[in-house]
Amino acid sequence: MEKIEGLKLDKFPIKLNFLIDLFYFEGALLSLFKNDNDDNYLYYWFDVDENYNRWLIFRLSKSDLKSYI
């Protein structure tokens, strides 16, 4: 696996509320969240090791969410 340099956060800088898992196979792979301003975020699981699960987090517009669904 290619080593990726990242930035360690003590906590995630945005408060997000879980809505639903959009894709699930032996665990959540793609989940939808919203913040207090009604912005949509997708959590996409992409890697795991002995210590961590890694997720990519994307902000998306309502129209992009509607197009996906």
* 25, part of any domain: yes
Quick: pLDDT tens for 3-60: 878 777 888 888 999 999 998 888 789 999 999 999 999 999 988 889 888 889 999 9
Write down the pTM of the prediction. 0.76
* 66, part of any domain: no
Full strand arrangement of the beta sheet holding 53-60: 16-24, 28-35, 40-48, 53-60
Domain of 20, in residue numbers: 16-60
Structural domains counted in the chain: 1
* 34, part of any domain: yes
pLDDT of residue 24: 85
* 68, part of any domain: no
* 42, part of any domain: yes
Which H or E run contains 42?
strand 40-48
* 28, part of any domain: yes
